[in-house]
Amino acid sequence: MTWNFATVFEALARVRPGDTALMHGERTVSWGELDDRAARLASALRAAGLNDGDVVAQYLPNRPEYIESFVAAAKARLAPMNTNYRYVEDELLEVWQDANARAVIYDPSFADRVAAVRDRMPGVKAWIEAGSEYESLIAANEPIAVGSGDDDSLVLIYTGGTTGRPKGVMWRQADLLSLLNSIAARKLPDGAGPDELVSVIGERRDGVRALVACPLMHGFGLFYSLSELISGDTLITLPTVKYDPELLLDAVQTHKLKSIALVGDAFAKPLLDKLDNEPQRWDVSSIRVLMSSGVMWSAPVKEGLLRHMPKARMIDGLGSSEASSIASTASTAGQVADTASFEPSDRAGVLLDDGTLAQPGDGKVGKLAVTGWLPMGYLNDPKKTAEVFVEAAGRRWSMPGDMATIEANGRIKLLGRGSSCINTGGEKVFPEEVEQVLVKHPGVVDVAVVGVPDERFGQSIVALVEPRGEAPSETELREHVRASLAGYKVPRLFHAVESVDRLPNGKLDHRKLADVARAAWAAGVSAAAS
């Protein structure tokens, strides 16, 4: 591929200037406006003293300025960098100093946090608040020249840090664009020059309307959005920071949405509850695709949503910031796929410790891996880069950390993350396997399974259960798990919680949950001893 994100967005603006690119509440941004505003912001960033490769931190919730600033960075040969909008001062300093950020574009609601760290970030040349200051810069600067982008510019995706400190994944723009184009519904021609690119994009006047409900600040939200946009589709974001399933359903009905990205049961269950409680209120017949990645939907949630959307496909994607799409599974009405079984992409495999690839049906457990277009590695972390990005079987691979086997039919069976594997009495238990069973119980809304230190067994299994109404008894839950899994996989303690702590991307907050589990276990042991 001989072009970058700037080139693609410039081509879209050239042939479809009046068509809608972005929608956010009552606000719309056309392709022409998006390109012009991004080009003016790119000039402003250059005028502030930023040079090739400098990092632009995006401290924003879902709003049009997120996409605008991403495109602006691409046009100015700068590196856009996501920033978790839940972070507070010390966390902001950690990631911005690690990335050596030279500009920060932030939401007005985060102004107090930004003010608290500005003096400790003397290297930042531009602090831009999305609002009047942002608009003034756009009005005051002429657009940067068309074709200013560069294939070798980076995109930095900082991982969520659920089990450790956040790490900056370094993607070359050309590699990320090639990867997203390869999995897009409508692909752009590889190797096309600017004129051919314009010709192809100009023929696409029937773009769908897609909504990203999950945060753009996370890999899946950004990758999904960019994939839709380079296909010429309209991207819709909700006008609230907090996820609101009612607003989402209103948008489906108003805009006749065809595609939605939302992460796991944390997003899907509230949606299902709304539809179950008011089944006649919304027309959701336009939906054809629901996508999730990073967190799998439970079977009951998939079955429930497909009752309301019988023409839709629910696609569970397996991916990460270090690999994007690895494998997927699709469910349709009357045919709900096994939650942990995936159809691998042609880039995926299971790498064994000896450097060879597992074969279908051999029963060997290895690390899920993907090859092809990959990140350069982790910023400022050569040790972790060497652990995750490896040479094996004659190719370079990314191994995000999931353990898996390949079934006889060629599908990948996901076991769980090796880093969270529980060793109890010499037996290995993957928390995800137990969670998938527990969440099928009708009295369970959400669950997290955690290993805690145990003098006798090394570790014991604790299940933190968010009940639906009155909590099921421990005996009931224990029997429910034992009916599907071996005895050593049954949690020794079931502890009811008001809610299971999750991050904005829907993933479990492992650090908080580990503290809750250890406290519950200590209290249970003390009670048993008294």
The CATH label, of 3.40.50.80, 3.30.70.270, 3.40.50.980, 3.40.50.300, for the domain at 243-339 is 3.40.50.980
In three-state form (DSSP H/G/I as H, E/B as E, the rest C), the secondary structure along 154-215 is: EEEEECCCCCCCCCEEEEEHHHHHHHHHHHCCCCCCCCCCHHHHHHHHHCCCCCCEEEECCC
Q: Which pLDDT score is estimated for 351?
A: 95
Nearest CA to 321 out of 83, 509, 155, 159 is that of: 159
The CATH label, of 3.40.50.980, 3.40.50.11540, 3.60.15.10, 3.40.630.30, for the domain at 5-202 is 3.40.50.980
Q: Which helix (H) or strand (E) holds 522?
A: helix 510-529
Q: Which pLDDT score is estimated for 181?
A: 86
Domain map of the chain by residue range? Answer: 5-202, 243-339, 340-418, 421-529
User: Residue 438 CB: number of other CB atoms within 10 A?
Assistant: 24
115 exposed, middle or buried (CB, 10 Å; 0-12, 13-18, 19+)? exposed
Nearest CA to 314 out of 291, 341, 337 is that of: 291
pLDDT of the chain, 530 residues: tens digit per residue: 457 899 899 989 998 899 999 999 999 999 999 999 999 999 999 999 999 999 999 999 999 999 999 999 999 999 999 998 988 898 899 999 999 999 999 999 999 999 999 999 999 999 999 999 999 999 999 999 987 778 789 999 998 654 457 899 999 999 999 899 887 766 777 766 666 766 777 666 666 899 999 999 999 999 999 999 988 899 999 999 999 999 999 999 999 999 999 988 889 999 999 999 999 999 999 999 999 987 778 888 999 999 999 999 999 998 889 988 888 999 999 898 876 788 999 899 999 999 999 999 999 999 999 999 999 999 999 999 999 999 998 999 999 888 899 999 999 988 877 667 888 877 778 898 899 899 999 999 999 999 999 877 889 999 999 999 899 999 999 999 999 888 889 999 999 999 998 877 778 888 899 999 999 999 885 555 44
Q: What phi-psi label fits residue 373: left (phi over 0), alpha (psi between -120 and 50 degrees) or beta?
A: beta
Q: Which pLDDT score is estimated for 297?
A: 86
Cα 472 from chain centroid?
32
Q: What is the DSSP secondary-structure string of 455-466? A: TTTEEEEEEEEE
Architecture of the domain spanning 340-418: Roll (2.30)
Nearest CA to 228 out of 205, 215, 211 is that of: 211
Cα 191 from chain centroid?
28
Q: Which pLDDT score is estimated for 525?
A: 59
Q: What is the pTM of this model?
A: 0.84
Where does 421-529 sit in CATH, by number? 3.30.300.30
Tokens of 274: 């709304």
Q: Which pLDDT score is estimated for 166?
A: 84
Question: What CA–CA distance (Å, rounded) separates 320 from 219?
Answer: 7
Q: Do domains 5-202 and 243-339 have the same CATH topology?
A: yes
User: Residue 397 CB: number of other CB atoms within 10 A?
Assistant: 24
Q: What is the DSSP secondary-structure string of 308-364? A: H-TT-EEEEEEEETTTEEEEEEEEBTTBPPPTTEEEEPTTEEEE-TTSPBP-TTS--
**3-state class (DSSP) for residue 56:** strand
What are the residues whose beta carbons fall under 8 Å from the beta carbon of 250, sequence distance 6 or more?
Answer: 282
Nearest CA to 438 out of 307, 314, 299, 306 is that of: 299
